[in-house]
Amino acid sequence: MAENEILNSTAVDASNEYDASEIQVLEGLEAVRKRPGMYIGSTSESGLHHLVYEIVDNAIDEALAGYCDEITVTINPGDTITVTDNGRGIPVDIQAQTGLPALEVVYTVLHAGGKFGGGGYKVSGGLHGVGASVVNALSEWLTVQVHKNGEIYEMKFSRGNVTQKMTVVGKTDRTGTTVTFKPDGEMFDVTTYDYDTIHTRMQQQAFLNAGLKISTFDRREGREISDEMCYEGGIREYVAWLNQNKTPIHSEVIYMAGQKEDSSAEVALQYNDAYNEMIVSFANDVRTPEGGMHEEGFKRALTTVLNNYGRKIKMLKDDEKVSGEDCREGLTCVISVKLTEAQFEGQTKAKLGNSEIRTLVNNIVSEKLDTFLEENPQVGRMILDKALTANRAREAAKKARESIRRKTALGGAAMPDKLRDCNENNPELTEIYIVEGDSAGGSATQGRDSRFQAILPLWGKMLNVEKARADKVYGNDKLQPVITALGAGIGEEFDAAKLRYHKVIIMADADVDGAHIRTLLLTFFFRFMRPLIEQGYVYSAVPPLFKLTRGKTTRLAFSEEERDAISAELRGDNPNAKVDISRFKGLGEMNPHELWETTMDPERRTLRRITLDDAVRADEIFTILMGEKVEPRKAFIEENAQYAVNLDY
């Protein structure tokens, strides 16, 4: 989870920067430079990182073909990237069709790569499948070195154009490919790489390709870090890693695999004592965050197997059953399928559509999980016991939820006492400020524009949902007002279409307590109303930190840098002028007018939209920050203490 999108700042999309008169027949790599977003998704940070993944994908394809077992990814000083592998090396022979070395074709012809190579690329993944030439087109410069036939071949490019024809530059006794490139600053909004982002992605790829060694290096000044990742256990180790900060209820990770014709599937799972489920699925090594046929096949089989097994060992009566959700409480599971023609569906192409995979995964899990339970009855009983407990809690939660719904349905008295609602009814136009403390709530209520802004003050100690089961959460007197005011339900029943406000703004102080409240609320949204975050309805208000006064002039600063700059500005040419600087200790100290001007007026305020870049990482962080175990939390805080300094005045 990252609070990284500042609203009101207009992102310039390079693809829209020319008008109709300029439209021409776009050819080859020119097309990529004209509309980079079409090829790499965006020209923001995510597109920048995408360049690395495209090159790495070629190396991974070589590993999948069985010729490569080592890949390195390096961020060099100056934010250039080097990727190496020890595969066969990209072919350098002259292609009959074009009269050019294959290497040149791969790097200069759009959509070369897989198709061009022919038979070798049986299970090429590539959500975008755009490959090396796109990276080349978007690089200020790019160099490829191929070790092959005892020679080192080198070729250089700039913005997709050849600047050095393929040349032999030395002798070698190994094989492999090395690519170094510098992303073109003219094409990207940012050109600074994030080591963590690259490391996380490479670790994921290492988990998915058992035995493949991937190393990452950051060689930029002052950062020198490296990691070496190689997992002989593949996705089994992935599951163990995902559960590392949780408490598993059985020691062994359960692993199942099988194949049919050109498709294969593997599933690894382990239950922990927490309440949420985490299924991470892939098709051809590409994440499918929206699931699809492989997940459906898995879920169906899991529910059926556990119900049958429960009946067989008489933990379930004949007329009793546990639901799919019951079976997945506390489940951590990785599903990885490989298939020849993956169909990615849905708006973000994040869902696998091939129905034959549902049958394959269903068959594998039905057969192998049943066998596992037969052979490990102790584990079997533990899992079933957990599902039964979940079932009872779910019944209780349902009652709690129904009681909320009944209250809401009664109208009138339904809304929480503390809610100061707005007049407008169209949710697209309204916003709700969730405010810490009654006094800040009071200022906000007086300062707001009541036509479209509602205020909900929270007070007292809030429930940490990470340590509570659904029924406790639904019945909690601090969270109920939030659930009721938002009006969209909770858990499985959450429906964003029923939201009463399309901006849900958390307004808390810029100190440790404020950060704590914010984290508690976000944890709640993440675990029980995830679409609220996924669909971009949640924001964080950004209150100012300083007030500067000189004579009759008053200015506000949101950071220390800004404070110093404004102070200098107010002083002007007069170094002795007195500028009075005061720090806002909290929202509660601002008068209603100040609060409106600085933090609530849509014309002047700054809001940060809370985004969910990576649910796995978010889960990890929430588990660490809010979960049972103390040690990982300590370690996390120590590691991140440098970032916390600014919060803790």
Q: Residue for token digits 């938002």? A: 486
Helix, coil or strand: residue 591: coil
Q: Is the dihedral of CA 204, 209, 211, 214 positive or negative?
A: negative
Nearest-5° Cα angle at 37, 33 to 39: 75
- Judged by CB under 6 A, the residue of 5, 30, 41, 88 near ligand 1YM is 88
Told to check if 387 binds ligand 1YM by CB under 6 A, we report no
Of 88-96, 271-279, 360-368, 470-478, which part binds ligand 1YM (CB under 6 A)? 88-96
Where would I find the beta strands (DSSP E) of 50-107? 70-75, 81-85
Give the Cα separation of 166 and 481 in Å (integer): 68
> Is residue 295 among the annotated active site residues?
no
Give the Cα separation of 539 and 5 in Å (integer): 10
Helix, coil or strand: residue 276: coil
Told to check if 213 binds ligand 1YM by CB under 6 A, we report no
Told to check if 129 binds ligand 1YM by CB under 6 A, we report no
Told to check if 83 binds ligand 1YM by CB under 6 A, we report yes
- Judged by CB under 6 A, the residue of 32, 90, 214, 235 near ligand 1YM is 90
CB of 203 to ligand 1YM, least distance (A): 18
Nearest-5° Cα angle at 459, 520 to 586: 85
> What does DSSP say about strands 553-557 and 607-611: parallel, antiparallel, or unpaired?
unpaired
CB of 539 to ligand 1YM, least distance (A): 41
CB of 102 to ligand 1YM, least distance (A): 4
CA atoms within 13 A on the CB side of 483: 24
Told to check if 530 binds ligand 1YM by CB under 6 A, we report no
Told to check if 59 binds ligand 1YM by CB under 6 A, we report yes
Catalytic residue of the set 17, 93, 513, 613: 513
Q: Which is nearer to ligand 1YM, 262 or 402 (CB)?
A: 262
Q: Which is nearer to ligand 1YM, 59 or 253 (CB)?
A: 59
Nearest-5° Cα angle at 242, 645 to 67: 110
> Is residue 477 among the annotated active site residues?
no
Question: Length of the chain in residues, anyone?
Answer: 649
- Judged by CB under 6 A, the residue of 91, 233, 258, 536 near ligand 1YM is 91
Q: How many residues bind ligand 1YM (CB under 6 A)?
A: 20
Residue type, 544: P
Q: Which is nearer to ligand 1YM, 62 or 431 (CB)?
A: 62
CB of 51 to ligand 1YM, least distance (A): 12
CB of 160 to ligand 1YM, least distance (A): 17
Catalytic residue of the set 184, 285, 509, 619: 509
Told to check if 58 binds ligand 1YM by CB under 6 A, we report yes
- Give yes or no for a contact between 92 and 101, defined as CB atoms under 8 angstroms apart: yes
CB of 458 to ligand 1YM, least distance (A): 52
Kindly identify the residues of this chain, within the stretch 139-178, that bind ligand 1YM according to CB under 6 A: 177
- Give yes or no for a contact between 300 and 361, defined as CB atoms under 8 angstroms apart: no
Give the Cα separation of 115 and 126 in Å (integer): 12
> What does DSSP say about strands 431-436 and 503-507: parallel, antiparallel, or unpaired?
parallel
> Is residue 93 among the annotated active site residues?
no
- Give yes or no for a contact between 528 and 486, defined as CB atoms under 8 angstroms apart: no
Q: Which is nearer to ligand 1YM, 57 or 614 (CB)?
A: 57
Q: Which is nearer to ligand 1YM, 175 or 606 (CB)?
A: 175
Q: Which is nearer to ligand 1YM, 117 or 346 (CB)?
A: 117
CB of 121 to ligand 1YM, least distance (A): 5
- Give yes or no for a contact between 462 and 473, defined as CB atoms under 8 angstroms apart: no
- Judged by CB under 6 A, the residue of 14, 55, 242, 256 near ligand 1YM is 55
Catalytic residue of the set 189, 325, 345, 511: 511
Give the Cα separation of 64 and 598 in Å (integer): 55
Q: Residue for token digits 């408490």? A: 247
Kindly identify the residues of this chain, within the stretch 23-42, that bind ligand 1YM according to CB under 6 A: none
- Give yes or no for a contact between 127 and 119, defined as CB atoms under 8 angstroms apart: no
Q: What is the CA radius of gyration of the chain?
A: 28
Ramachandran region of residue 616, left (φ > 0), alpha (ψ -120 to 50) or beta? alpha
Q: Which is nearer to ligand 1YM, 148 or 159 (CB)?
A: 148
CB of 526 to ligand 1YM, least distance (A): 36
> Is residue 228 among the annotated active site residues?
no
- Judged by CB under 6 A, the residue of 36, 47, 87, 514 near ligand 1YM is 87
- Give yes or no for a contact between 518 and 538, defined as CB atoms under 8 angstroms apart: no
CB of 139 to ligand 1YM, least distance (A): 14
Q: 635 vs 523, 563, 644, CA distance in Å?
A: 20, 33, 14
Catalytic residue of the set 266, 285, 436, 466: 436
CB of 207 to ligand 1YM, least distance (A): 20
Give the Cα separation of 480 and 475 in Å (integer): 7
Helix, coil or strand: residue 4: strand
Kindly identify the residues of this chain, within the stretch 172-191, that bind ligand 1YM according to CB under 6 A: 177, 179
Per-residue contact track with ligand 1YM, 105 to 124, x per CB under 6 A?
Answer: -x------x--xx--xx---
Q: 473: exposed, middle or buried (C-beta count within 10 Å: 0-12, 13-18, 19+)? A: buried
CB of 53 to ligand 1YM, least distance (A): 11
- Judged by CB under 6 A, the residue of 32, 63, 75, 102 near ligand 1YM is 102
Told to check if 517 binds ligand 1YM by CB under 6 A, we report no
Told to check if 52 binds ligand 1YM by CB under 6 A, we report no
Tokens of 489: 């339900």
Largest pairwise CA distance in the chain: 88
Backbone dihedral angles phi then psi of residue 337, each to the nearest 5 degrees: -120, 150
Told to check if 212 binds ligand 1YM by CB under 6 A, we report no
**Residues marked as catalytic:** 436, 509, 511, 513
Q: Which residues bind ligand 1YM (CB under 6 A)?
A: 55, 58-59, 62, 83-85, 87-88, 90-91, 102, 106, 113, 116-117, 120-121, 177, 179
